[in-house]
């Protein structure tokens, strides 16, 4: 069983589901995430920030996931989330990541296209896929805050030009979601989503900021062509909530693994809930 890229997963799951992309924050989460996918016999995208990849180590991360994929026999894509550093993306691909996201959304469109095209050529030569971004998704990403006022909806004409000229496999679109949102619900611009979906055939639309979207709106997003849905904040928040409970009762002689197990179980539950939610009925 090999790791797959986004293009392969999108093709295999066409008309069945959007695929959940779950942010790995630490190694402890990994088995729980993959066991959740295995229990549902569903594919999963595991994604990391550059910071997480450097914290765990690219080689350890890749080899750990490869071991679990072989053990559990699940379809998995390992994806580098939002990254502006092209050398880091090349390192990820060389280390065994099967997908990367070059985020040039803060650049002028032509510069974003030029850089993304370079990443696409490097990735495709190594059987990896590429996600790009047009428009700016608000909220906090790796500690960098983009205010909701500064969030810019994706322009369909820009998105079409970007996809045509770069050859990307997936595109993150800004339709009203924000990163790090879990206190209120996002207001999705469905008219824009429908326009993007009908204009961008053959490329996977990606929803960032999935935590702030109601279940009803999420089902509608998937029905309207979303192929990949990112889940990050909810995993981080839930892990912290669980370890806050268990560690507060611990003594120096308590087995550390017992303190982490409830958090890992919660991660598995979230992966399963979201994976079922992203399935087309």
180-216 tens-digit pLDDT: 554 556 789 999 999 999 999 889 999 998 777 899 9
Which residue carries 């695929």 as its tokens? 19
Longest dimension (CA), the chain: 61
Structure tokens at 74: 């699940």
User: One of 75, 81, 103, 169 is an active-site residue; which one?
Assistant: 81
Cβ-based neighbours of 53, under 8 Å, separated by 6 or more: 61, 80, 92
pLDDT higher than 80, residue 156? yes
Residue 140 has pLDDT above 70, yes or no: no
Question: Please, what is the average pLDDT of the chain?
Answer: 92
Q: How confident is the model at residue 272 (pLDDT cuts 50, 70, 90)?
A: very high
The structure's pTM equals 0.93
Contact 266/238 with Cβ under 8 angstroms? yes
Interhelix angle 86-95/109-124, rounded to 10 degrees, is 20
pLDDT value of residue 90: 98
How do strand 138-141 and strand 144-146 relate by DSSP bridges? antiparallel
> How many secondary structure helices (H) and strands (E) does the chain include?
11, 11
Look at residue 141 and tell me whether its pLDDT is greater than 60: no
Among 11-25, 130-144, 164-178, the range scoring the smallest mean pLDDT is 130-144
The partner residues of 23 in beta bridges, in order of sequence, read 47
* Of 200, 207, 106, 198, residue with least CA distance to 151: 106
Closest to 33 (Cα-Cα) out of 5, 2, 13, 61: 61
Residue 143: pLDDT above 60? no
Structural domains of the chain, with CATH: 6-277 (3.20.20.70)
Which candidate, 98, 84, 87, 161, places its Cα nearest to that of 130? Answer: 98
**What does the pLDDT average to over 60-79?**
97
Please give the Cα distance from 172 to 135 (Å, whole number): 8
Q: Is 81 a catalytic residue?
A: yes
Whether pLDDT at 146 is above 60? no
Grouping H, G, I as helix, E, B as strand and the rest as coil, residue 233 is helix
Q: What pLDDT shows up at residue 135?
A: 81
DSSP state for residue 179 in the 8-state scheme:
E
- H/E element, 170: strand 170-173
138 confidence band (pLDDT: 50, 70, 90)? low
């Amino acid at each position: 069983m090999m790791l797959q890229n986004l293009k392969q997963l999108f093709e295999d799951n066409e008309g069945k589901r959007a695929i959940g992309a779950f942010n790995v924050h630490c190694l402890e989460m990994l088995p729980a995430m993959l066991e959740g996918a295995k229990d549902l016999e569903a594919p999963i995208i595991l994604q990391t920030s550059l910071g997480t990849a450097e914290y765990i180590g690219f080689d350890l991360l890749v080899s750990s996931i490869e071991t679990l994929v072989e053990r559990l026999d699940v379809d998995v894509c390992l994806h580098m989330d939002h990254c502006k550093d092209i050398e880091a993306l090349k390192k990820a691909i060389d280390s065994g990541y099967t997908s990367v996201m070059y985020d040039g959304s803060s650049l002028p469109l032509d510069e974003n296209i030029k850089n993304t095209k370079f990443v696409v050529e490097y990735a495709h030569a190594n059987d990896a896929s590429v996600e790009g971004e047009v428009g700016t998704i608000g909220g906090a990403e790796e500690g960098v805050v983009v205010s909701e006022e500064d969030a810019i909806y994706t322009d369909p004409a820009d998105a079409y030009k970007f996809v045509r000229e770069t050859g990307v496999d997936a595109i993150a679109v800004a339709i009203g979601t924000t990163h790090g949102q879990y206190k209120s619900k996002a207001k999705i611009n469905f008219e824009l989503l429908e326009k993007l979906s009908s204009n961008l055939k053959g490329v996977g639309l990606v929803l960032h900021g999935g935590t702030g979207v109601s279940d009803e709106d999420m089902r509608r997003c998937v029905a309207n062509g979303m192929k990949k849905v990112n889940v990050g904040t909810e995993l981080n928040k839930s892990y912290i909530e669980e370890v806050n409970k268990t560690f507060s009762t611990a003594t120096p002689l308590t087995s550390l693994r017992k303190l982490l197990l409830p958090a890992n179980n919660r991660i598995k539950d979230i992966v399963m809930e979201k994976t079922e939610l992203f399935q087309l009925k």
